[in-house]
């Protein structure tokens, strides 16, 4: 007599639950709003810059966020300083977000790159090899070793150096983005 060794896992539908035992209940965190029985899957900070969180359902999270004040509890000077610091650190991203899609000479260069090209007296669509040649030629003319003691030449040399550095870093970013 052959012994039946087939498990209940074969075929469709499965006759046994997936997982180890199939009997354990999943823990669901409820909304922290008093009296709400919905799952609390939307974290919200309890205070500015605090790691502690409330966990609300979507409806109560929307209600909480509609009245959220990021600067609550701060003095006016501290709130202004924080707002200024955040706008200055994020401003570069907002101003340059449209430059990634175009090629050179068609609006893809930033204002700093355009000023650097003007310093080196180049066209807006100049490639990096042209930039490098122009930088070397102009830097040789005003180099402090060639014109020692000339303050204007030293100032021009620094301007050429800075312009080249701006354009070199922009070229590296373009190559990195691929």
At residue 27's C-alpha, the angle toward residues 22 and 30, to 5°, is 150
Residue 61: pLDDT band (50, 70, 90) is confident
Is CATH 1.20.120.140 correct for 101-177? no
Give the separation between CA 152 and CA 14, rounded to whole angstroms.
85
Can you give the pLDDT at residue 80? 87
Q: Is residue 5's pLDDT more than 80?
A: no
Between 58 and 1, the higher pLDDT residue: 58
Residue ranges, comma separated, of all CATH 1.10.287.110 domains in the chain are 101-177
Give the separation between CA 64 and CA 161, rounded to whole angstroms.
52
Q: Is residue 46's pLDDT more than 60?
A: yes
Q: Is residue 55's pLDDT more than 60?
A: yes
Look at 52-56, 70-74, 113-117, 138-142 and tell me which has the smallest mean pLDDT. 70-74
Ramachandran bin of 6, using left for φ above 0, alpha for ψ from -120 to 50, beta for the remaining angles: beta
Residue 102: pLDDT band (50, 70, 90) is very low
What backbone torsions phi and psi does residue 30 show, to the nearest 5 degrees?
A: -85, 160
- For residue 110, with 0-12 CB atoms within 10 Å meaning exposed, 13-18 middle and 19 or more buried, which class applies? middle
Can you give the pLDDT at residue 164? 94
Give the separation between CA 134 and CA 118, rounded to whole angstroms.
11
Percent of the chain with pLDDT over 90: 26
Percent of the chain with pLDDT over 70: 73
Long-range contacts of 101-109 (CB under 8 A, 24+ apart): 109/170
C-beta neighbour count of 157 within 10 angstroms:
21
Contact 73, 82 (CB under 8 A): no
């Amino acid at each position: 007599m052959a012994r039946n060794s087939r498990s209940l896992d074969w075929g469709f539908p499965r006759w046994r639950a997936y997982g180890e035992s199939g009997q354990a209940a999943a823990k669901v965190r409820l909304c922290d709003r008093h009296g709400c029985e919905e799952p609390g899957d939307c974290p919200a900070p309890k205070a500015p810059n605090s790691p502690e969180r409330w966990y609300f359902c979507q409806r109560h999270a929307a209600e909480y966020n509609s009245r959220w004040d990021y600067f609550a509890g701060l003095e006016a000077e501290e709130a202004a300083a924080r707002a200024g610091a955040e706008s200055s650190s994020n401003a570069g991203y907002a101003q340059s977000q449209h430059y990634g899609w175009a090629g050179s000479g068609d609006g893809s260069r930033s204002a700093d790159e355009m000023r650097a090209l003007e310093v080196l007296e180049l066209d807006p669509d100049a490639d990096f090899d042209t930039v490098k040649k122009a930088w070397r030629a102009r830097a040789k003319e005003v180099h402090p070793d060639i014109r020692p003691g000339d303050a204007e030449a030293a100032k021009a040399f620094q301007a050429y150096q800075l312009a080249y550095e701006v354009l070199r870093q922009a070229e590296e970013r373009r190559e990195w983005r691929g």
